[in-house]
Structure 1
Amino acid sequence: MAEIVAFPRPSNHRPPSRPEPLWRHVLGDQLRRRRHGNEETLSETAAKAGVSPQYLSEVERGLKEPSSEMIAAIAGALDTTLIELASSVADELRAVSAPVSAAVSAGRGALALAA
C-alpha cells in the first residue's frame, strides 16, 4: 500500500476569490483583439481562415474549444503564428493566475501525494 505524505497547509492560504479563466476564453479575447487591431470584420477573417463567421464568433466568445489546426488557421489569417498566439495566451493566463500561484508557492501549498 502506498504511503501518503501530507504537506502542511500555509497559514496565509486563501482560496482564490474567483475561478481562473479558461484557456478558450483568453484565446477568444486574444483573437478578437488581434482581429480588431487588423481592422477586419468577422467575415473577412473567417474567409481567410476557411471557417464560417459564426464559428469564428463562437471561438472569440469562448463557446468553442477549437482544435490546434483551427487555431493555427485563424492565427494565420490574423498574420500571426500558432506559437505566438499560444505564448500570448499563456502569458495572459500566468498574469491572471500569478497571485494565486505565488501564494501557494510561498507557503509550499497544501498538497498530499500518494504513489
Structure 2
Amino acid sequence: MSSHVPNQARVIPLRPATAAPTPAAKEPLWRHVVGDVLRRERLAQERTLKDVADAARISMPYLSELERGRKEASSEVLAAAARALGLGLADLLALAHGELARPARARPARTGTEPTSVTSVTSVTSVTSVTSVVPGRDRSSGRATAPPHGGMCLAA
C-alpha cells in the first residue's frame, strides 16, 4: 500500500502578483489620422477618388492607400492632396491636430473596416496664423529661451 502524494514544489514568486494591467488607450498613428482627414474632406465635397487623385497628380490606388492609413506620404504628396481638396498643407495639419487633440474615448476606433458614410464633417478653410517658437535669446534680458514642450505651436 503506497500513498500517492503529489510531487509538487513550493513556488515562491520573485515579484508580488498583481492584477493584470489595464490596456492603455492606444495612440493613433499619424498616417491613420491624416488618411481619415483626407477621406472625410473628399466625401464632404462629394468627390471621387479618381477626381482628387487626378487633381493631385497621384495615382488613384495610392490615394486610396493614403486614406486607409496604409501608406506614409511625403510632405509633397500631402500638400498635393490637400491642394486638390482646396486646402493648404497647414489646413490639413490643423485638422489632423484637431483629431489628435480629441480625447481618446471620443475618437472612433480603427477596426480595419472603414465607414461608408460620414455623419459630421468639420472643415478648416484657412489657418490665420502659424507661430513657431524657436530656441534663442530673449532680446531684453539676453537669457536663453526654449519652446514650450520643445515643439511648434499652430494657432487657428
Q: TM-score, normalised by structure 2?
A: 0.51
State the partner residue of 1:93. Answer: 100
Answering whether residue 52 of structure 2 is matched by residue 45 of structure 1, we say yes
Separation of aligned partners in 2, 1:25 and 1:38: 20
Distance (Å, rounded) in 2 between the aligned partners of 1:78 and 1:27: 13
Alignment-derived partner of residue 90 in structure 2: 83
Asked whether the 8 Å contact 1:20–1:96 carries over to 2, the reply is no
Percent of aligned pairs sharing the same letter = 48
Provide structure 1 residue ranges, at least 5 long, that are not aligned to the other structure.
1-13, 99-115
More helix by share: 1
More off after superposition, 89-98 vs 69-78: 89-98
2:36 and 2:83 map into 1 onto residues whose CA distance is 16
Q: Root-mean-square deviation (CA), in Å?
A: 2.0
Aligned length: 86
Q: Which runs of 5+ in 2 are unaligned?
A: 1-20, 106-156
Q: Which has the higher contact order (CA 8 A, sep 6+)?
A: 1
Alignment of 1:6-45 (within 5 A): 17-45=24-52
Aligned to 1:63: 70
TM-score, normalised to structure 1, is: 0.69
